[in-house]
Amino acid sequence: MNPYLSVSDEVREAVAHSRPVVALESTIISHGMPYPQNVQTALSVEKTVRDAGAVPATIAILGGRLSVGISAEQIEFLGKKGLAVYKASRRDLPVLLSRGADGATTVATTMIAAQMAGVRVFATGGIGGVHRGAETTMDISADLEELAQTDVTVVCAGAKSILDLGLTLEYLETKGVPVIGYGTDELPAFYCRQSGFGVDYRMDTPAEIAAAMHAKAEAGLKGGMLVANPIPEAYAMPEDRMTDCINRAIAIANANGVRGKSITPFLLDQIKQLTDGKSLEANIQLVLSNARLGAEIARALCVLTC
C-alpha cells in the first residue's frame, strides 16, 4: 500500500469486490461554493451516487495523505475552512504530502488518487482547460495533461464556460483524449447545454460509455476519457446572458490582476453575483446530474468486468 494513500474501508471493500465506485473531488467544497451550500452539496452528491447504486468516494488530502472516501465530518471541515484549504494540483502533491498538510483536490489530483485506489469513474462539475488569452499567458489547466495520462473516466458538464472551449478541445485532441457527448453532439458549456463546438462521439447510454472504457483498458491504451453531460434543461442558463456575465467577470479579474489558480474561484464568485445567485443553483444541479450518470456508468462497467 502506498504510504501516502488512505482508502476508507467502504471504498476498499467495494473495489476489491468489483462493486461500482464513483470518485468525487473536494475543490468544489473548499473553492467552488460558499459555506454551508458547499457542504450541503457535497453530502447531496454522495447521496445521489448511493441512490444510483454506487459507492461515493470523496477525495481530499488530509494530514499529508491522499484520502479516498472521507467522512461527513471531514467534508464539514473542508467546507468551513474554505479558501484557507490549499487548492492542490499535481505539482503541489510532493510538498503537501511531505509536510503533512491538508489540501482540496482538483480534477487532476482527484484522478491521481482515484487511479491509485482502483476507482475508474470520477464525477465532477466541469474540467479546467485552456484559458482565454492562453496564447500569451500559457494558462492551461493541469486537468488536461492528467486526462492524457491517467486511466480514469471523468464525467462533467463540459469545460467551464470561462475558458476557451475551442482551444480546450484542440488540446484534448492532441493528447488523444476521447471526448464523449452524453446524448449530445455538442460540447456543453457548463451553465449552458451547447457551445457550438462538436464532440468526438455521441453516446446515448451508460452501457455504451462503459463498453468504450472496457475496450480501452483491454487494448492497453493509457489515459482517460471525458464524458460531457449537459446541465439539466430546467437549470440551463441563457447563452447570451452567460456570455455577457463571463465577459464582465473576466474584465473585473483583469482589472484586479487576478491570475493563476485564483482565477477560477474568483470568476465563479463574480458570475454568481452577476446572475443574482442563479449560477450557483445551476452549478449544484449539474454536479448532481453528473454524479448520477457517473454511478450509472460505474454500474455498467461492473457488468462488463465482473
pLDDT digits (tens, 9 = 90+) for 157-205: 998 777 889 999 999 999 999 999 999 999 999 889 988 899 999 999 9
Please list, in sequence order, all residues whose beta carbon lies within 8 angstroms of the beta carbon of residue 233, skipping any fewer than 6 positions away: 193
Report H helices in the chain: 9-16, 27, 37-51, 72-81, 93-99, 107-117, 134-137, 142-149, 165-174, 206-218, 239-255, 263-274, 278-305
Q: In terms of C-beta density within 10 A (0-12 exposed, 13-18 middle, 19 or more buried), how is residue 16 classed?
A: exposed
Q: Which one is catalytic: 46, 146, 160, 296?
A: 160
For the chain, give the percent of residues with pLDDT over 90: 73
CB atoms within 10 A of CB 291: 27
- Of the candidates 68, 106, 69, the one whose C-alpha atom is nearest the C-alpha of residue 85 is 106
- Give the Å distances, CA to CA, from 151 to 25, 91, 251, 298: 16, 19, 37, 14
d(CA 149, CA 172): 11
∠ CA 97-34-247 to the nearest 5 degrees? 100
Active-site residue flag, 81: no
Domain boundaries, the chain: 5-305
Contact in structure between 225 and 213 (CB atoms under 8 Å): yes
Mean pLDDT of 11-17: 97
Domain at 5-305: CATH code: 3.40.1790.10
Active-site residue flag, 25: yes
Q: In terms of C-beta density within 10 A (0-12 exposed, 13-18 middle, 19 or more buried), how is residue 260 classed?
A: exposed
Please list, in sequence order, all residues whose beta carbon lies within 8 angstroms of the beta carbon of residue 143, skipping any fewer than 6 positions away: 106, 107, 108, 127, 128, 129
Mean pLDDT of 18-40: 93
pLDDT band (50, 70, 90) for residue 1: low
**pLDDT tens digit string along 116-165?**
999 999 999 999 899 877 777 788 899 999 999 999 999 999 987 778 89
